[in-house]
Structure 1
Amino acid sequence: MVAVSVPTAASAQQATARQPDIRVVGHRDPEGLLPDQTEPKAVSAISSDFIVKQAPTLNAFQLVNLLPGANVASSDPYGLSSSSSLTLRGLGQDEIGVLLEGAPQNDIGYYYAYPSQFADPGNVRQIALAQGSVDIDSPTVGGAGGLLSLTLDDPKTTPQALVDLSLGSYALRRVFARVDTGEIGRTGLKAFLSYLNTRADNWRGAGYDTRQHVDAKLLREWGGGNRASLALSYNDANNASYPSPTLADWEAKGRNFNYDARYSAENTNYWRLYRAPFRNLYASAPVHLALSDRLTLDTTTYLQFGYGNSPYGTELATTGNFLGNEELTQPIALPGAIDGVATVLGNYTGDQMRTGNVSKLTLRAGVHQITTGLWFDYGTDRVAQTYTAVDAYGRPADRWGYRSKAIRTADGRLLANENQRTVTVTRAFFLADSIALGPRLTIDVGIKGVGLLRNGRNYLPGPQRRVRRDSFTLLPRAAVHYMLDDRQQVFANVTTNFRTPNEFTLYDSYDGGVVTTRGTDALKNEYSVSQELGYRYIGPNLSGSITGFHYKFRNRQLATVIDAGGAQVNSTLNAGGQTSYGIDAEIDYRPARGVSVYVSGEYLRARIDDDLPVGADFLPTRGKRAVSSPVLQIGGGGTYDDGHLFGSIAGKYVGRQYATFVNDESIRDYATLDVAIGVHMADWLDGKRTDLRVNAINVTDPHVLAGVQAVTTNANDVVGRRGTTIAGAAPAYYVGSGAAVVATLSRGF
């Protein structure tokens, strides 16, 4: 076979013209885990060839778990729960940009991305993971941890259909159907439309998850590489949460640390009070136009809508309440109140809209390939923490937490602990030049300027009405790529990244009419400088890469979860300076046709550079290891596919992870193992795709904590540098998911 290098510049045609073809005769990579690259930075990927062998419910985070640097903590084996996390080189998912068809997927206010909402894996052609930085034209804020890019499959050229049926452990039922139109008349248009319906019981504790999902893509291609498409992804889910234990909870109850299966009066731990409904719509319209033989235009317009509730159980009294800093002198009406107290559903709702466009022009002029462009993004985020009545059986009157159905004060105002609306406007420009100094050497230089404005309104009575934060940062970068020969490459780069504090930091919060946390616009932006030095080899039966990396952070922002009146709310801690360095490596060996063996690994040293201020004292954190940053990770697996029988095996080892800045609490290392076996039956039937596969997830079923959900500065009381005692707070953790087995029958028509 002939393998041609994947281009890195603005368009495939231009990049192919600028880089020599890599032509290697040998066995193709059946996993798609190590596609050929010529980018001057670390990039790993998985393709549909690998995805189709995995359990069909897995989300994008779980699917990239084998790749170097990817540390995935998932609360359920099927990837349906929103309780999951991804870190890259010790940097959390709020530091990782996520794109779907070129459109951003991260939350506009808190930077999180939620993989259970992404496009169905059956429609994904490739998931690329750039561990070190985002591309200069990526419409993302931050991204020091890297970039996760999902590319949807193009519609097929001929009319066809596919149906998947899955049954599995914990009463899993899944139906997936996709229809491709082929060319529609003589328009040149082609499209696909898919529908997914999934239901599964919680693997631990009471509750169940449901998910309905629709993906669609419309594509038009014409001469000269021109193409325009519209991709839509709609998600409607209702997920039962998994509680995250402290270490003491885990040691006392283990996997039995769950919500209650039955309701009783005054019970705020009933599982129905923790079901999280969400609806999201993502639309992206990428266009590539060849304006001339030297000039191209790439533009992507996107639009997003989302609404959801992250509820919890709590108690509310008819008297003694406050709205902001205002004491409510009149009692509130609470259905089902006993002695003036009622169990209610506490809502934490988010209503987001986001739209934007990123456009760039690329000009080839002699040895130069110049790219310039603009990015504009406008988003609104309406957040409210309200209350909804619960009946005598523990059923909420409205699980969505709509404000129109929430409990009101005696004079008709919305009773809320938090009530705010934030508008975020992002403007950016970028300019880059890729200079070809001969057929083997390319030097890239570029600069990106990003301005981010937040304008907000706090609707609670109190001293704060309006909030505003405006910042602008210049982000230079440079890279070099050299082809040693047709099989070997070396590269090096320097990139910069920044991130503003999330919107939560702008607002006052109240408890008992008193401001307990003062909102501020004075927090400093996180800023980082990173370097990579790497080597790649692309051989006939063996491919591999190794990358050394180094990061230096100022005002390192760490995402955590705090308890805000019962709600688990995303927040941020300033961890001061941090220095990280390490090595990522991956090897793919193909000894025979249809056989692949893949191994990846990471060595990471991440250290806190400063003592952290707490009140009038400082925690002794200088030189401590960074949280959620295991020193060692190793992934490995293999696939076999002879055209009739196929299978795969994948294992991952993750080292010890600290959960506090002073390193006084951690979770031990652990390993997981997934196995799959299947058979292609098309040749034995009518020649149309018919596959049967069985996936065993986490077959060794280790009873472990898989990751840190909520970090704290210190778990135990610590004496500060100035002699005062700084009280500890217990971190919370993700419980590693249990074992599961899924059988899937796929049939093409």
Structure 2
Amino acid sequence: MLANTEDTRHLSGPYVVSGKMSDVEALKQLVKKGSFTVHQSSPRTLVIEKAQLPKGHAKHVYAGGEEEIVATGRQTRSVMTVGGEQMQATMPGQNPLQALSILPGVTFTNVDPWGNNEQNSSIYVHGFSTTQLGYTLDGIPLGAGAYGNYNGLSPQRAAISEDISKVALSSGTGALGTASSSNLGGTIDFTTADPKKKAGASVKQIFGSYNTFRTFARVDTGNFGNNNSAYFAFSRQDARAWNLNGANRQGGYQVNAKFLHKGEKTKITAYFDWQNKSEPNTQGLSINSNDWLTDPTKQYTRGAFYPDLAAAMANYPSMSSKSKAPAAPNNQYYFSSAQRTDFLTYLKISHRFNSHLTWDNNLYFHYDDGAGVVATSIRTNAILTILGTYLDPSASKYIKNGQFTYSQKGIDPTVWNKTGGTGFATRTTEYTDYRGGLTSTFHYRVGHHNIETGIWYERNNNEAARRWYALSATNTLTPYQTPKDPLFTQWQNKFYTDTFVFHVQDTWKVLPNLTVMAGMKLEQVNTNGTLPVAALPQSLATNTKGSKTLDSNTQTAAGGTISAFKPFLPAVGMVWDFTRHEQVFVNIQKNMNSFAESGYGTTSPWGVSSQAEFEDFKKHGKPETSWTYEAGLRTFRPINSKFLDSISGQLEYYHVNFYDRLGAIKKPDAGISGVGTTIANLGDVTTDGVD
């Protein structure tokens, strides 16, 4: 009999079988509690196989990770897994990140029931936020999870939700070989399902409130040729944003394809993902300070007027008005949306030279094209100052305290007319991202040692530009199109980044029940950030009391190259099975978060407002680092009662030292323009907790 030890480890036998029965019947009785089946393939051969469990039955595997929700793993780190079936049972089609919110130590929020809205999305794990975690799909890097798309894409754009077989969270630290340069606070690994062995097709259809529908279809070829298999999947989702009217739709199209070849010594996997989506960026619900005291039903206002331009224009004073009513003049957009198109593909080749040596290679490429679009009222000093700087820089009578204002003279008619005469203008942040790379890892087993060493290299070219467009009664635009023919480009950033990571580790089975791991990684991320189009100094002006001209003191950064480099990031850990059902794990690891490849208004060295401040940070600034200490107890106890098969769990204590935290420091009256922003290391943070 051959059996995977991870499938049989939890069996607490020997089981006693008594009575008069055949050898087949006796063997069936002996293995039935292990979820195995027995059949006779020949007069002298009995075959024992793992049983197909009923739908919804949890597959309890101690330290294996096959269960729908499991907090185990033969790891020195805390690893918790949510299976694809559990994820879809909770919410069909949901963002895989949202599924992790059922786990301890994880906080995920989103304004969308599916968790897909990226601007209004956040995840925290042990106090670390979205861009301080690491994300991979089948081992390929997804970047830092940033809304601005500077080095990757979100998991729901990388794979259709129904094609995700499991999501694994390393809540303290990720594996040394994880392809991430941002994983201060752990990693989240998404695994796509393999093609099925039998040919078939499935279609799932969802209808719901808010005019919701979601279609998922998948076709599996089954095994063909020389151990080949593949599938093709398609999804279409459309729904009304719950806090906007019916014309504000969210959703899009997505296609996945996966090919698998299993040779005697070589395994080849090819994957392709394409997605195109557009979704409104809503501000949630805002308090309407004018009406709610007298009419509680008007306590909150919707975040956008689209498609009712007349109502949007009526909500604000006319061009000549000198009043500031309503009290919060920019609390409602005409519309705002995120538009994203992605192509992601990888080719993975794993070759087993012999029983001791294997070699895994993964070549990948990703292209992203997108825009964040906001049709906003021009009736704020910050926005008027930006528009006036480019459209009517000499209009001194509309300038007070170094900024354009409408509170004294009304809105400058030149600015009003050039932006379309509606009191609204459309602002975009337009993104493109080309990145490709390779991961290559050797696994060598010798004696009681499992040695792993590998590299990850990536080249990433990304660009972001801020542009402004007119919005007129005849050219109202929509949330689903990127405008053309801008009035002007306020700024444009380009970043060229090379990432190189090397790691090596040894997992040593010191005793049958004691395993020790030790290793390190070298990480270097070089980024050259340039500014082909720099913002005019006046468009980033601060208030200058009494000034009748635009403040021109604020400079703009020309950019340059900065390297985040750590030659030695160590890790050491231990797993001890001190009983047949319990194990203790300990892990200590250091990680680094490379600098964000983004510019104006972000927490990045290139987000400062002068070249002098950039050079100062380059000389004195440091990348964020963390030391994480984990220790815990895992247990798996077979129950085999009428109501319970088993009970499993994990208790973990963690301690984190977070060093050189980066923060953006803004001057007073900076507004939304990020005026005079300085980036600095703000000190250290210590965290203790128990899951």
Q: Same fold (TM over 0.5)?
A: yes
Are the equivalent residues in 2 in contact too, given 1:166–1:175 (CA < 8 A)? yes
Are the equivalent residues in 1 in contact too, given 2:283–2:303 (CA < 8 A)? yes
Aligned twin of 2:356: 294
Residues 507/180 of structure 1: CA separation in 2 closer, same or farther (3 Å cut)? same
Aligned twin of 1:209: 250
Match of 1:544 among 624, 649, 653: 649
Residues 255/132 of structure 1: CA separation in 2 closer, same or farther (3 Å cut)? farther
Are the equivalent residues in 2 in contact too, given 1:334–1:342 (CA < 8 A)? no
Residues 566/216 of structure 1: CA separation in 2 closer, same or farther (3 Å cut)? farther
- Secondary structure of the residue aligned to 1:459 is strand
Shift of 1:247: 8.7
Residues 542/399 of structure 1: CA separation in 2 closer, same or farther (3 Å cut)? closer
Are the equivalent residues in 2 in contact too, given 1:334–1:389 (CA < 8 A)? no
Are the equivalent residues in 1 in contact too, given 2:369–2:433 (CA < 8 A)? yes
Residues 499/339 of structure 1: CA separation in 2 closer, same or farther (3 Å cut)? closer
Match of 2:563 among 456, 462, 470: 470
Richer in helix (by share): 2
CA distances 1:382-437 after superposition (whole Å, capped 9, x unpaired)? 000101232316732895546xx2424xxxxxx22321100111011111111111
Residues 373/392 of structure 1: CA separation in 2 closer, same or farther (3 Å cut)? same
Q: Give the counterpart letter for 1:64 in structure 2.
A: L
Show the 5 A alignment for 1:658-737: none
- Secondary structure of the residue aligned to 1:51 is helix
Aligned twin of 1:377: 458
The reply to whether residue 165 of structure 1 matches residue 202 of structure 2 is no
Show the 5 A alignment for 1:314-329: 314=376, 315=378, 321-322=388-389
Query: Whose RCO is larger (CA < 8 A, sep 6+)?
Result: 1
The reply to whether residue 420 of structure 1 matches residue 514 of structure 2 is no
Shift of 1:573: 7.2
Are the equivalent residues in 2 in contact too, given 1:312–1:566 (CA < 8 A)? no
Aligned twin of 1:445: 518
Aligned twin of 1:284: 346
Q: Give the counterpart letter for 2:350 in structure 1.
A: H
Q: Give the counterpart letter for 1:195 in structure 2.
A: F
Shift of 1:80: 3.1
Q: Give the counterpart letter for 2:303 in structure 1.
A: N
The 2-side partners of 1:228 and 1:249 are apart by 61
The 2-side partners of 1:466 and 1:36 are apart by 46
Aligned residues: 556
The reply to whether residue 433 of structure 1 matches residue 474 of structure 2 is no
The reply to whether residue 490 of structure 1 matches residue 570 of structure 2 is no
Residues 88/345 of structure 1: CA separation in 2 closer, same or farther (3 Å cut)? same
Match of 1:189 among 216, 221, 228: 228
The 2-side partners of 1:247 and 1:91 are apart by 30
Residues 254/368 of structure 1: CA separation in 2 closer, same or farther (3 Å cut)? farther
Are the equivalent residues in 1 in contact too, given 2:109–2:115 (CA < 8 A)? no
CA distances 1:695-742 after superposition (whole Å, capped 9, x unpaired)? xxxxxxxxxxxxxxxxxxxxxxxxxxxxxxxxxxxxxxxxxxxxxxxx
Residues 26/220 of structure 1: CA separation in 2 closer, same or farther (3 Å cut)? closer
Shift of 1:187: 3.5
Q: Give the greater-gyration-radius structure (CA).
A: 2
Q: Give the counterpart letter for 2:211 in structure 1.
A: A
The 1-side partners of 2:335 and 2:665 are apart by 22
Q: Give the counterpart letter for 1:453 in structure 2.
A: N
Shift of 1:339: 9.6
The 1-side partners of 2:414 and 2:249 are apart by 32
Are the equivalent residues in 2 in contact too, given 1:79–1:116 (CA < 8 A)? no
Show the 5 A alignment for 1:344-423: 344-392=425-473, 395-396=476-477, 400-401=481-482, 405-408=484-487, 415-423=488-496
The reply to whether residue 220 of structure 1 matches residue 261 of structure 2 is yes
Shift of 1:177: 0.6
Are the equivalent residues in 1 in contact too, given 2:556–2:611 (CA < 8 A)? no
Are the equivalent residues in 1 in contact too, given 2:151–2:435 (CA < 8 A)? no
Match of 2:309 among 249, 256, 263: 263
Can you give the 5+ residue segments of structure 1 that lack an aligned partner in the other structure?
7-15, 409-414, 585-749
CA distances 1:139-171 after superposition (whole Å, capped 9, x unpaired)? 101212211111111101121000011101111
Are the equivalent residues in 2 in contact too, given 1:286–1:301 (CA < 8 A)? yes
The 2-side partners of 1:139 and 1:441 are apart by 28
Match of 2:624 among 526, 533, 542: 526
Are the equivalent residues in 1 in contact too, given 2:285–2:300 (CA < 8 A)? no
The reply to whether residue 99 of structure 1 matches residue 140 of structure 2 is no
Shift of 1:232: 1.6
Residues 560/248 of structure 1: CA separation in 2 closer, same or farther (3 Å cut)? farther
Can you give the 5+ residue segments of structure 2 that lack an aligned partner in the other structure?
13-32, 36-56, 60-66, 317-329, 396-411, 535-554, 639-645
Richer in strand (by share): 1
TM-score (norm 1): 0.67
Are the equivalent residues in 2 in contact too, given 1:442–1:482 (CA < 8 A)? yes
Q: Which range moves more in the overlay, 566-575 or 124-133?
A: 566-575
Residues 249/50 of structure 1: CA separation in 2 closer, same or farther (3 Å cut)? farther
CA distances 1:351-398 after superposition (whole Å, capped 9, x unpaired)? 111111111111112222211111101101100010123231673289
- Secondary structure of the residue aligned to 1:29 is coil
Are the equivalent residues in 2 in contact too, given 1:509–1:516 (CA < 8 A)? no
Are the equivalent residues in 2 in contact too, given 1:441–1:480 (CA < 8 A)? yes
Query: Pairwise CA RMSD of aligned residues?
Result: 3.8
Shift of 1:181: 0.9
Residues 179/130 of structure 1: CA separation in 2 closer, same or farther (3 Å cut)? same
Shift of 1:117: 2.0
Q: Give the counterpart letter for 2:455 in structure 1.
A: L
